[in-house]
């Protein structure tokens, strides 16, 4: 009797093979469903408030937001390619000024020279057009490159010319690269064949031929760059053909006059704001001197 009671005391709740199979089944199935539920909760995009910290603890301190940010950092672009239409119409200097420059150059903010202020622009104009364009493209002082805009280089140069011209300069409106090359080389082409032919000719005939060609070349450059001031007398420029105004200048000699034009004087920028060569400038000065004799 005592042996029977001892055996019953040591028996478990599983007494039949069927109970054993059920116990084994649930011991595997329940943990699997628990794992599936936990994984579904972790990867779910919508969670109740306060679940971020729980998720962080489950993933070793890394939240879904951190994973997303890390992914974005890894796949973010490292550069960009911008394609522009090289043949699109260029904006005028006035358009670029109104779009980008007016904020500072109309009010004088940050020491910017006001548009139309001849006194503020005079020193800048004397540095030459190339210097103005360089400052506009690369920035200067408080002004960032291109004034913070994003224009074609030629458009920026046009804006510089527009502002300088409003203060008394006479810079021509820049064109695309091919246009200025053709215009600038035209006078030179007229002079070059004569210069090449001169050594082969006698001294006296050469002098007779050179003068008309130089005068013609000088007239072209005069009409292009000098007439705006010298036909009207703007900024005290001696008027074309005014013998009284030109007399003291003619006495200085042609070399001195040419050097003055190349370096600039008063409101006249170096080379009159052009890219003309020294022979072309000499021809233009000679043309104006001849008209005043």
CA distance 229 to 261: 13
Q: Find the helix or strand (DSSP H, E) in which 212 lies.
A: helix 203-221
Q: Which one-letter DSSP state was computed for residue 61?
A: S
Q: Find the helix or strand (DSSP H, E) in which 261 lies.
A: helix 254-263
CA distance 195 to 100: 47
Q: Give 179's pLDDT tier (boundaries 50, 70, 90).
A: very low
Per-residue pLDDT, 272: 75
* DSSP assignment of 19-49: HHHHHHHHHHHHHHHHHHHHHHHHH-S---T
Q: Give 165's pLDDT tier (boundaries 50, 70, 90).
A: very high
Tokens in use for 180? 């200025």
In three-state secondary structure terms, 268 is strand
Of 100-114, 193-207, 238-252, which range is least confident?
Answer: 193-207
Question: Cβ neighbours of residue 55 under 8 Å, at least 6 residues apart?
Answer: 42, 47, 63, 64
CA distance 116 to 165: 8
CA distance 36 to 154: 65
Per-residue pLDDT, 5: 54
CA of residue 31 relative to chain centroid, distance: 65
> Is the pLDDT confidence value at 71 over 80?
no
Mean pLDDT of 148-163: 86
Task: Map out the domains of the chain with their CATH numbers.
Answer: 2-75 (no CATH), 93-166 (1.10.760.10), 180-291 (1.10.760.10)
Q: Which one-letter DSSP state was computed for residue 140?
A: B
pTM equals 0.37
* DSSP assignment of 146-192: GGG----HHHHHHHHHHHHHHTT--PPPP--THHHHHHHHHHHHHHH
Q: Which position has the token pair 């599983």?
A: 14
CA distance 155 to 146: 10
CA distance 125 to 139: 17
Mean pLDDT of 240-258: 88
Residue of 228, 92, 99 whose CA lies nearest to 161:
92
pLDDT digits (tens, 9 = 90+) for 182-215: 444 444 444 333 333 333 333 333 333 333 334 4
Tokens in use for 12? 């478990």
Question: Cβ neighbours of residue 158 under 8 Å, at least 6 residues apart?
Answer: 90, 91, 92, 93, 96, 173, 174
């Amino acid at each position: 009797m005592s042996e029977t009671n001892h055996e019953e005391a040591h028996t478990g709740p599983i007494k039949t093979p069927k109970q054993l199979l059920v116990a084994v089944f649930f011991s595997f199935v329940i943990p699997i469903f628990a794992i599936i539920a936990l994984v579904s909760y972790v990867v779910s995009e919508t969670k109740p408030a306060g679940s971020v910290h729980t998720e962080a603890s489950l993933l070793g301190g890394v939240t879904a937001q951190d994973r997303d940010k890390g992914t974005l950092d890894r796949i973010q672009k490292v550069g960009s390619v911008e394609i522009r239409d090289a043949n699109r119409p260029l904006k005028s200097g006035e358009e670029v000024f109104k779009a980008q420059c007016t904020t500072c150059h109309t009010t004088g903010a940050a020491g910017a020279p006001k548009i139309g202020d001849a006194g503020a622009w005079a020193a800048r104009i004397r540095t030459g057009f190339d210097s103005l364009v360089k400052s506009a493209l690369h920035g200067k002082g408080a002004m960032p490159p291109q004034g913070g805009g994003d224009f074609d280089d030629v458009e920026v140069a046009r804006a510089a010319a527009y502002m300088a011209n409003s203060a008394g300069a006479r810079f021509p409106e820049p064109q695309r690269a091919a246009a200025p090359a053709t215009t600038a080389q035209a006078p030179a082409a007229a002079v070059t064949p004569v210069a090449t032919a001169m050594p082969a000719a006698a001294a006296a005939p050469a002098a007779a031929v050179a003068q008309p060609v130089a005068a013609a070349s000088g007239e072209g450059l005069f009409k292009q760059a000098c007439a705006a001031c010298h036909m009207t007398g703007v900024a005290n420029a001696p008027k074309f053909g005014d013998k009284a105004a030109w007399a003291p200048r003619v006495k200085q000699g042609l070399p001195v006059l040419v050097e003055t034009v190349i370096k600039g004087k008063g409101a006249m920028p170096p080379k009159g704001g052009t890219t003309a060569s020294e022979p072309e400038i000499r021809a233009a000065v000679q043309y104006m001197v001849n008209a005043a004799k």
